[in-house]
Chains A and B, each alone.
Chain A
Amino acid sequence: MFTNLINTFVLAWQYTLSHADEFILALREHLFLVTISMIVGILVCVPLGIWTARSKRIATAALNTVNTLRVIPSLAILFLLIPYLGLSSTSALIALIVLALPPILINTDAAFRGISPAILEAARGMGMKPQQILFQIEFPLAAPVILTGIRIAAVEVIASATLAAFVGSGGLGIYITRGFALYDYSILFVGAVPVALLTLFSEGIISGAQKLIQYPQ
């Protein structure tokens, strides 16, 4: 069993070396999908979350929407989009963005909502302008929780970007589908292991950033 596993790894490594050009392309496609959907997710959800945190009605509407989106499996979204957008990386990107939205929005909303009213009152009372309060007080205080949301989104997006292979937009998923088709675990590993490593890497980077901005509680 154990030697089998080692063997599979060795085979996977050899496969990677012999398909180096293809692998690097797949990795780049994967990173492209992840980066774009994370950037869009952050650009949409952080401002939206700040807004929802200030208004209860908007918050309920927005959070219900993303929670509904969340229960639809990414694969289903992908297949629903194919008739409209075809087999394209746009379909894959949309499915991934939908996946990235909820954790970032929910955490941004909670982070801003959780800031003590006394702190905000002190800031206003001492004559800070709304923009100064936002950037000098609220953002730094909300950042750790927002980063947690970004971390959760990143983990989901990195894993789910493998689905892009189903719609022909490449990514590390091609090795997973190929491994299944050929019933060859070593090829499957060529996709799965880098995905796992990317996940760990992104978690490491983000928790490092969180440590950096952490203040004594």
Chain B
Amino acid sequence: MQGIVFDKVSKQYKNAAAPAVNQVSFTVDPGSLVVLLGPSGCGKTTLLKMVNRLFEPSEGTIYLDGVNIRDMEVTALRRQIGYVIQQVGLFPHMTVAENIALIPSLLKWEKPRIQSRVDELLTLIHLDPLEYRDRYPAQLSGGQQQRVGLARALAGDPNVLLMDEPFGAIDAITRASLQQEVMQLQNQLQKTVLFVTHDVEEALLLADKIAILKEGALVQYDTPWNLLTNPADEFVRELINADDRIRQLTVLKAKDVMIKPSHHEQVLKKVQQRTDLRQVLSLLLSSPNAVVAVTDSSGKVVGEISLQQLVLE
């Protein structure tokens, strides 16, 4: 068992009438980004915090790479899981560099290694190390703070990343650029990510798979494409607004619908795996043979899409 496995996990808070999380079972494949989606109070945060043991389940078991997380020392477990929250929680008395260096120094890395890691991460999140290394959190914009929060979570090179509405408090334009960055990072780093949001667009945009929660129970766990085309019930259909086709195209990605490449012409227009289907459609409509090739990050053709793939049966 690899990745994160939830096995009949429940959480009953004291003095609460109903459990906040109720018999939830699903598997997060290693290297994939899974979004927990659902209305406010449905148990997303509770479920997430049970993974780094800020909460303990009342029932059920969570496995990380096959190991029951209860059998791991709690601080050791947390140090291999990056954690990003909406309020960011940067330490205001530490510089950006000190914030990012915290986990590596807890892990007792050598000084030079920590320093180069800090610069590497700042570059990765598009903040110039020379300019930002020695700033304090109060001297950053909200979006920059959240970037640093992300860098801090990545600092110890964890395999797993937990993100609880990381962009919830950020304006729409900055949020869009941060979402793009998360997608780029995910292409590059392939972490196992659990991402909480109640923003449907964000979920459809980022997720490899989405777990939809309602009153603590898992209603459907599937790819964005399958959720849109086969919602399990009315609740899911309405939640993700499954009937709006144009909207679907803006959030679904090439890799969701591509088929095996069969055309070998080099003249095909090319799109990335994570290009959204609206751009794909636009290209298709302007391509003479109405086929585009899909490439991976190295430029290798891994699939193709024609108009047919955009039409629902």
Name A's B-contacting residues (CB within 8 A).
Answer: 116, 118-119, 121-129, 132, 137, 140-141, 213, 215-217
Contact = CB atoms under 8 A, between A and B. Distances in A.
Contact of A128 (B54, B87, B92, B106): B106
Nearest to B103: A126
Interface in B81-99: 82-83, 85, 87-93
A72 B106 CA distance: 48
A118 B54 CA distance: 13
Contact of B54 (A119, A125, A216): A125
14 contacts: A116-B87, A116-B89, A121-B85, A122-B88, A122-B91, A122-B149, A125-B78, A126-B103, A126-B153, A128-B102, A128-B106, A129-B75, A215-B92, A215-B138
A129 B76 CA distance: 10
Given A119-B91, A215-B136, A127 B79 contact: yes
A129 B152 CA distance: 17
A127 B93 contact: no
Contacts of B268: none
A127 B88 contact: no
A140 B83 CA distance: 22
Interface string B214-237: 000000000000000000000000
The A interface is mostly helix, strand or loop, or mixed, namely helix
B52 interface: yes
A213 B76 CA distance: 31
Given A125-B52, A126-B153, A129-B75, A215 B102 contact: no
B93 A215 contact: yes
A118 B93 CA distance: 14
Interface of B: 52, 54, 74-79, 82-83, 85, 87-93, 102-103, 106, 136, 138-139, 149, 152-153, 162
Nearest to B80: A127
Contacts, number: 67
A141 B137 CA distance: 14
A123 to B, nearest CB: 7
B136 A127 contact: no
B97 to A, nearest CB: 14
B77 A140 contact: no
A128 B106 CA distance: 8
B87 A118 contact: yes
A217 B137 CA distance: 8
A141 B91 CA distance: 9
Contact of A125 (B83, B90, B138): B83
Nearest to A143: B93
A122 B83 contact: yes
Residue from the set B87, B103, B136 with the largest chain A CB neighbour count within 10 Å: B87
A124 B153 CA distance: 12
A127 B76 contact: yes
Given A125-B52, A126-B102, 18 more contacts: A118-B87, A118-B89, A119-B90, A121-B85, A122-B83, A122-B90, A125-B85, A126-B106, A126-B153, A127-B74, A127-B79, A128-B106, A140-B93, A141-B91, A215-B93, A216-B136, A216-B139, A217-B92
